[in-house]
């Protein structure tokens, strides 16, 4: 059972004991603290299709009303839809009920400020401290908040997307695209058909029922997408489109059933945007170098940040970036809003394909070719990640060819490859991402660092147990996923 509190929000497994999971008592504390933290009393609530969503929604809405907040419940809604709803209603903040790409036993609270953007790290820290202190009080009978149901924001989101200057609706319609979409049994199955109908795109939806009973793991990685890949190979489609449960991540599949590459979602959309509006770009430290290369080709500057949407958006504002996001398929396009948005990504990508008059695989071949390996190491709370990363740093500090960054975990950058180890914001794992010119080189580098992590953990545990004279009771608890 797990509860994770981070810059990206609060995520946990449903059920279990207070303090260990995302249970009703924890939800009340977190919601109460958020209500006290925001300056104002109008809060938007949206949720994805998870089976626990109704239970969590009821607690969140009731608690907000109990804190004296007026609630605008927008129902089933993607995270980007909810972000836009905050701005459209002039609300003071929002709680999005979702666990993003995590499995069905998880749920979470993504917390947004009055701009419809994620809380900055210092704000998150302050809000979580309030939750721990329970320093809040509830409204009396005359001060209880009111509830309004407003389910119009899916269409308003679509309208905002198709009205973007670089979304060429006419070109998309003339191209007569046929797409296959995996909506992973969540809110994508509600809003994406509306988007395609508006764009004049012929579509087939897989896993379109918004039941929360996910047909596969909701993270849009190739080994989770065998169903849509098989369907792409059986029938003729121009493109395969995959989203996660709250529709802020986006991955494409080429017409021949091969992966376009989740990392290249941002690269391809950025290339299209930069060709019309040159400027700077931003992504996080775990994203492909290809964005840097494409940005430089268009005369802009590329910047990298620590992981977390709030970090990326803050840097985008600082450097006046025209587009940004992250390598997991997150598109942040300020012309619409400062938030990862799969609908924006889809519309811009289809516009690009229509303008290029080529296939998805042909478009992919135009970009610098890097291969990225994404692995992880499972953790339990007593793994001292910081101590292990310190040991890893000491090992590679002796290599003059390596540039080391500790902006977020540990990134070791070589001239022709890189590897990044960091504790996840959303799961009890250490993520190990590595990139090189070939997948074999990327895998080799990632596996080397995972084995080294394993050895350092083993060494630290051994020394700790030896000092406690308790070697016989040791059970090793972190195993690399190879």
Q: How far is CA 355 from CA 15, 313, 350, 375, in A?
A: 50, 28, 9, 36
Distance CA 90, CA 43 (A): 9
Q: Which residue has the higher pLDDT, 425 or 5?
A: 5
Mean pLDDT of 114-124: 94
Who's near 70: CB < 8 A, 6+ residues apart?
41, 42, 43, 145, 146, 147, 148
**What is the reported pLDDT for 467?**
59
Query: Strand pairing partners for 433?
Result: 374, 420
The confidence band for 382, taking pLDDT boundaries of 50, 70 and 90, is confident
Distance CA 267, CA 420 (A): 19
Phi, psi of 446 (to 5 degrees): -65, -45
Q: Pairing relation of β-strands 70-76 and 147-149?
A: parallel
The confidence band for 462, taking pLDDT boundaries of 50, 70 and 90, is low
Instruction: Name the least confident of 5-19, 64-78, 174-188, 358-372.
Output: 5-19
Q: How far is CA 105 from CA 51, 238, 248, 373, 374, in A?
A: 8, 34, 20, 26, 23
Residue 201 clears pLDDT 60, i.e. is over it: yes
Phi, psi of 175 (to 5 degrees): -75, -20
Distance CA 121, CA 311 (A): 8
Helix extents (H) in 222-279 = 226-234, 263-276
Residue 470 clears pLDDT 80, i.e. is over it: no
Residue 421 clears pLDDT 70, i.e. is over it: yes
Mean pLDDT across the chain, nearest whole number?
92
Distance CA 309, CA 320 (A): 16
The token pair that represents 367 in the structure block: 């970009």
Mean pLDDT of 4-31: 91
3-class DSSP state of 421: strand
Short-list 422, 418, 440, CA closest to 430 = 422
Mean pLDDT of 36-65: 96
**What is the reported pLDDT for 468?**
56
Who's near 382: CB < 8 A, 6+ residues apart?
477
Helix extents (H) in 67-201 = 79-89, 121-133, 153-162, 169-175, 188-199
Active site residue ranges: 100
Residue 295 clears pLDDT 80, i.e. is over it: yes
DSSP string, 291-346: HHHHHHHTT--EEEE-SSHHHHHHHHHHHTEEEEEETTTEEEBTTTBSS--HHHHH
The confidence band for 222, taking pLDDT boundaries of 50, 70 and 90, is very high
**What is the reported pLDDT for 476?**
36
The confidence band for 5, taking pLDDT boundaries of 50, 70 and 90, is confident
The token pair that represents 342 in the structure block: 């799969």
Q: Give the percent of the chain with pLDDT over 70.
A: 95
Residue 62 clears pLDDT 70, i.e. is over it: yes
Phi, psi of 243 (to 5 degrees): -125, 165
Q: Pairing relation of β-strands 3-6 and 202-206?
A: unpaired
Residues belonging to the chain: 482
Q: Give the percent of the chain with pLDDT over 90.
A: 82
Residue 79 clears pLDDT 50, i.e. is over it: yes
Helix extents (H) in 67-134 = 79-89, 121-133
Residue in this structure with the two tokens 């993003």, named with its chain if needed: 100
Pair 269, 349: CB distance under 8 Å: yes
Distance CA 263, CA 441 (A): 17
CA atoms within 13 A on the CB side of 298: 25
**What is the reported pLDDT for 20?**
87
The confidence band for 478, taking pLDDT boundaries of 50, 70 and 90, is very low
Who's near 250: CB < 8 A, 6+ residues apart?
220, 241, 242, 243, 265, 329, 330, 331, 342, 345, 346
């Amino acid at each position: 059972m797990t509860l994770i509190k981070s810059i990206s929000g609060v995520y946990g497994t449903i059920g279990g004991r207070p303090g260990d999971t995302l249970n009703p008592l924890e939800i009340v504390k977190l919601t109460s603290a958020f209500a006290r933290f925001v300056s104002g009393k109008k809060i938007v609530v949206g949720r994805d299709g998870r089976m626990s969503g109704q239970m969590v929604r009821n607690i969140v809405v009731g608690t907000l009303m109990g804190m004296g907040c007026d609630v605008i419940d927008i129902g089933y809604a993607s995270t980007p839809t909810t972000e836009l709803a905050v701005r459209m209603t002039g609300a003071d903040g929002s709680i999005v009920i979702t666990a993003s790409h995590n499995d069905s036993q998880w749920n979470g609270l993504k917390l947004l400020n009055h701009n419809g953007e994620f809380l900055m790290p210092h704000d998150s820290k302050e809000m979580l401290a309030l939750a721990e202190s329970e320093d809040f009080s509830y409204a009396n009978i005359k001060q209880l908040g009111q509830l309004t149901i407003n389910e119009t924001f899916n269409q308003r989101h679509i309208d905002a997307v198709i009205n973007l200057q670089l979304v060429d609706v006419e070109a998309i319609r003339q191209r007569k695209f046929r797409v296959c979409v995996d909506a992973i049994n969540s809110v994508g199955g509600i809003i994406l058909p509306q988007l395609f109908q508006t764009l004049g795109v012929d579509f087939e939806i897989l896993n379109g029922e918004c039941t929360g009973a996910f047909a596969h793991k909701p993270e849009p990685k190739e080994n989770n997408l065998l169903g849509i890949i098989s369907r792409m190979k059986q029938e003729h489609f121009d493109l395969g489109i995959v989203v996660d449960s709250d529709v802020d991540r986006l991955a494409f599949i080429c017409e021949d059933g091969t992966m376009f590459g989740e990392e290249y979602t941002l690269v391809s959309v950025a290339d299209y945007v930069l060709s019309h509006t040159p400027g700077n770009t931003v992504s996080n430290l775990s994203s492909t170098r290809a964005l840097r290369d494409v940005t430089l080709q268009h005369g802009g500057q590329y910047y990298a940040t620590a992981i977390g949407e709030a970090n990326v958006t803050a840097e985008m504002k600082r450097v006046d970036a025209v587009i940004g996001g992250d390598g997991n398929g997150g598109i942040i396009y300020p012309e619409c809003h400062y938030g990862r948005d799969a609908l924006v990504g889809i519309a811009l990508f289809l516009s690009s394909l229509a303008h290029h008059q080529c296939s998805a695989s042909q478009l992919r071949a135009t970009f610098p070719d890097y291969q990225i390996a994404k692995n992880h190491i499972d953790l339990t709370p007593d793994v001292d990640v910081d101590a292990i990363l310190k040991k890893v740093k000491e090992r590679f500090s002796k290599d003059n060819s390596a540039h080391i960054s500790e902006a977020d975990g540990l990134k070791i950058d070589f001239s022709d490859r890189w590897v990044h180890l960091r504790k996840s914001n959303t799961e009890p794992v250490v993520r190990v991402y590595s990139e090189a010119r070939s997948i074999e080189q990327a895998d080799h580098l990632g596996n080397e660092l995972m084995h080294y992590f394993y050895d350092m953990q083993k060494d630290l545990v051994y020394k700790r147990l030896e000092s406690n004279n308790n070697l016989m009771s040791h059970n090793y608890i972190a195993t690399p996923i190879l």
